[in-house]
Amino acid sequence: MKLIRDIIYAPELGERGRGDLFLPDDFTPSNAIPSALVIHGGGWNAMEKSSLHPLAKILAERGYVSFCPNYRLLKHAPWPACGNDCLKAADFLEKAIATLYPGFTAAPMIVTGMSAGGHLALTTGLQLPPEKVKCIISLAGPSELKKQFNLKYFQMGPDYFFGKEKITERDYKYASPVSMIKKSSPPIYCLHSTKDELVPPIHADLMVEQALKLGVKAEKFFFEGNDHYHGMWADWTANGFREEGKDLSQRIFLEPIQKELKRILDSI
């Protein structure tokens, strides 16, 4: 596959308006080009685009043009800045397809992400026109923010996330993916560790339950993680890589997650 780094999708955002694009090997365009928006995590306030390259690589290996964007962190601007940036990145990806493959259109895209990026994948995918989204894949994404901010293990306060002291029920509702699902929403897949204490698996339960209630295709996949965070990485511990000298872009998903991701991609 080919990796094009630091493509500018939102010049007004500086470094946070750049993304990395993965192009599949031996890719022959058909009538429509499959694509995926891959959104990094980091508690909405840390990390950057290369940290979720491992997921983009899996998608590129399956023939998807995959875009990993940076976005504004909370230290730059409160919610919904990060969500708005992800919507811009989705629009950029669709337009980039026409530039990269003249004469072809973009197929409905996969929107996916992990942790805070899972939340952003859900909010982005649920706000885009349904016909533009093939499915949403959330890995350990919070779906109900009031529950998330009430967790004893979660150190961030809602005032920092929303950028104000008085938080209303309306604020929580309009930032929570579980409140955004409509009957016309695209299929939703939630992958979650049963050991996750940072973003508990109840978030997957809530998301899938609400989607099914509205007649939206939704599935959840639970696995036993290898730590009490998200527990998704085969070569990663809470204290760092087991091997010295690696970076986040070189992480490898646990095998059950790799299998489930491939199963989802084969089924859509």
**Domain extent for 83:** 2-267
**Beta bridge mates, 69:** 19
The CATH number assigned to the domain holding 237 equals 3.40.50.1820
Determine if the peptide bond prior to 80 is cis (ω within 30°).
yes
Reading the block at residue 12, the tokens are 């007004």
pTM: 0.95
Q: Which of 27-41, 181-195, 200-214 has the lowest mean pLDDT?
A: 27-41
Q: What is the mean pLDDT of the chain?
A: 93
pLDDT for 155 equals 81
Number of domains within the chain:
1
pLDDT for 31 equals 72
In terms of pLDDT, which residue wins out, 244 or 218?
A: 218
CA distance 143 to 196: 14
Best CA proximity match to 122, nearest among 105, 97, 140, 107: 140
